[in-house]
Structure 1
Amino acid sequence: MDRGKGQPFPREAQEIKTKERVRRGKNWPIVLIKIVMVPLLLFLSLIVGLMIGYGVVGHEPASEVFDLGTYKHMWDLLFAGT
């Protein structure tokens, strides 16, 4: 038993390498779903947050969130004195 301290048996090292190879090949659909879903969920949460903030907190129609004139008016209010 001339194996160094902390070194696995050769059989264990071989099993670990085969498991890593299998994982790499099967994880690409999950990674692709994560890449697509994260920005989509962030965008949807932005839209829902704008609608709640403008409709519930601001007591305005929530459909005005999608109107470009609303944001032009906010821009003008923010940068009127500059």
Structure 2
Amino acid sequence: MDQTREQRKAKQPEEQAAKQMENDQAVNQEQENQTREGWFRKWKGWFQKWLHRRKKEEMPDTEPGSREAKRQQEKQQKKRYRLRLMPVWLRVVVLLLLCIFALVVGTMIGFGVIGGGQAFDVFHKETWQHIYDIIYKD
């Protein structure tokens, strides 16, 4: 019986160390999941909870079996809220920048490849003055 007590005492630190390792692994896994999921998933979860609360608040005051209540429930089911990752104003700015970029590249290709000149001569004022003189010559 003395051996079993000694064996138990010897096993206790091993068991505690194993439990500690399991806890550490669980904490590490939790941290990895949080960094992997990031702020977007947390925000998305918050947003879904907010939508759910809002839908509950907008429930109709009419009787559950009436036609009006069914229509309102169908309208609420048809409503879809869209989470925009890129605001509208940012889309407009990006579109304008892409248009300017396309204009610059197009003029460089037109002048350099099709026109037979140097592509970077497009940025010189004299080039545009020459084109203006050709178009509006007296």
Q: If the length of structure 1 is used for normalisation, what is the TM-score? A: 0.70
Secondary structure of 2:116 counterpart: coil
Q: Alignment RMSD, CA only? A: 2.5
* Match among 24, 37, 57 for residue 114 of structure 2: 57
Q: If the length of structure 2 is used for normalisation, what is the TM-score? A: 0.45
Confirm or deny that 1:11 pairs with 2:73.
Answer: yes
5+ residue gaps, structure 1, are none
1:32-68 deviations in Å (ceiling 9; x for gaps): 3311111111111101100100000111110100001
- The structure with higher relative contact order (CA 8 Å, sep 6+) is 1
5+ residue gaps, structure 2, are 1-64
> Identity of counterpart residues, as a percentage?
33
Kindly tell me the number of residue pairs found equivalent between the two proteins.
73
Aligned residue in 1 for 2:99: 42
User: Larger Rg: 1 or 2?
Assistant: 2
Deviating runs (4+, > 4 A) in structure 1? none
